Every structure is written in C-alpha cells, then in structure tokens.
Amino acid sequence: MKELPKTAVGDRGSVELVEDSVLFSRYGRVVSRCVIYPDGSRHEFDVWSKNWRSNQEFAIVVPYYSASRTFTLLYEYYPAAHSFHLGLPGGNVDSNRHTSILQAAKEELYEEAHLKNGTWYPLLPQSSSGGSSQPGLLNDKYQQDWSFPFLCVDPEQQNSSEFGTDHATFEAEELIEVRMHVPFEKVRSDLLAGRFQANQTSTLFFAFEKLKELGLA
C-alpha cells in the first residue's frame, strides 16, 4: 500500500495519523483510520481502497482517432450500480506486473479495448524526470485510490489471432462491449449528461483540453 505521511498540514493546523485498523479485506479493503485534529480531538473514519494490494494507483485511457474525430468507449456492467454504463479502458496498476503506470495503461487498453500502439499523452502535469508531478486524481474523500489519466491518439486494432486464453481468463469477471468510433459530439453529450463515472468524467475533460492543445478537436 502507498505509505502516507504521518502529518497532514493545512491552513488551520495539522492532523496527525494515529492508526489504521483493518475492518474488512477481500477484493477491496476497509480500514478504520484514527486521527487527531489540531484541537486535540480524536476522530475515526472508514476509509476504503480498491487496489490495496499495490500502491492504490489506477490507470484510465481515452482512445481517440484524429482523422474521424471519434473515440472508442466501453459499455460495461457496473456491480455497484447493478446496471450497464459507458466507460473507458482502465484498471489497477500492479507493482508486481507493471514497471510503470503507463505500462499498466497500455496493457488495459490492449486487454479491454483490443487496441495497441498509438501516440500516448499523460494528462497530469509531468515532473522533469518524466513522471507525474502529483500523486494522481484522488477518487473520493473516503477512498484511498488515485487515478492517472492518459490520452492515446490513433491506436491500432488487434488482430483476432492475438486473442488467447490468457485474455479470456483475465477478463472473466468483466462483462464488456467495445464501442468503436463514437463521434466526438456524442461523447461530449454523454459526458455533460453525467453518463460516465466521476474519475472518467474528469479524464475526458482533461482529454478534451489536450486535444484542443494538439489541434485535433
């Protein structure tokens, strides 16, 4: 898990992290977090994480085709809402499998949307060393996971011969339909109508700004 500082410094003083106690742990994890506020009072919060086995990092990819001004989206079953939703390729960054967040993003695009290569753009500010200069987009006030958004311009379609048993096994728990070449204005309309989950909504806004900067939108 990502190591947090013991002290959170704010304009109104510091909050000290006293203890994290695991309440539940399976695919996700819930901990009871005890902290001390600047006035000395103690408070406990239930904090959960999806990718608790690694560094709580999550990659999200926006695949875009510059010539046709279209996107590839996913239409996927969401267990929490018990309904189907529009979405973007993405998944957990596994420190045991991936050497970087970008590698995880490329693997998720390959596995979920059947796309590869293309020109890649990280959508968060980059440090001088090429890595992200911030810890990612915090998914929720009570969720200890961070999202890292990427734009992939003009990816290539996988050949059917590239699909193997490993792919099918990896995706066994997911029910996904790939929707190719969705027009820019359709995606924008669905975005403004609130049809994407929150971290994917912010990812698309970042992608729209990057596409404008590149002269591709």
pLDDT digits (tens, 9 = 90+) for 42-77: 999 999 998 888 888 999 999 999 999 999 999 999
Measuring CA to CA, how many Å separate 73 from each of 15, 49, 190, 205? 41, 25, 11, 15
3-state secondary structure of 214: helix
pLDDT over threshold 70, residue 134: no
Do 149 and 124 touch, CB atoms closer than 8 A? Answer: yes
Does 2 score more than 80 pLDDT? no
Q: Which one has a higher pLDDT value, 125 or 161?
A: 125
| Helix, strand, coil content of the chain in percent (nearest 5) | 20, 40, 35
As a whole number of angstroms, the distance between CA 109 and CA 119 comes to 13
Is 90 exceeded by the pLDDT of residue 120? yes
Percent of the residues in the chain that have a pLDDT greater than 90, as a whole number: 75
Whole-number pLDDT of residue 129: 42
Whether pLDDT at 162 is above 60: no
Average pLDDT estimate for 117-140:
76
Q: How far apart are the first and last CA of the chain?
A: 38
pLDDT exceeds 90 at position 14: yes
CATH of domain 57-214: 3.90.79.10
The whole-model pTM stands at 0.88
Work out the burial of residue 128: count CB atoms within 10 Å of its CB; fewer than 13 is exposed, 13-18 middle, 19 or more buried. exposed
Is 197 within 8 Å of 85 (Cβ atoms)? yes
Task: Report pLDDT for 161.
Answer: 54
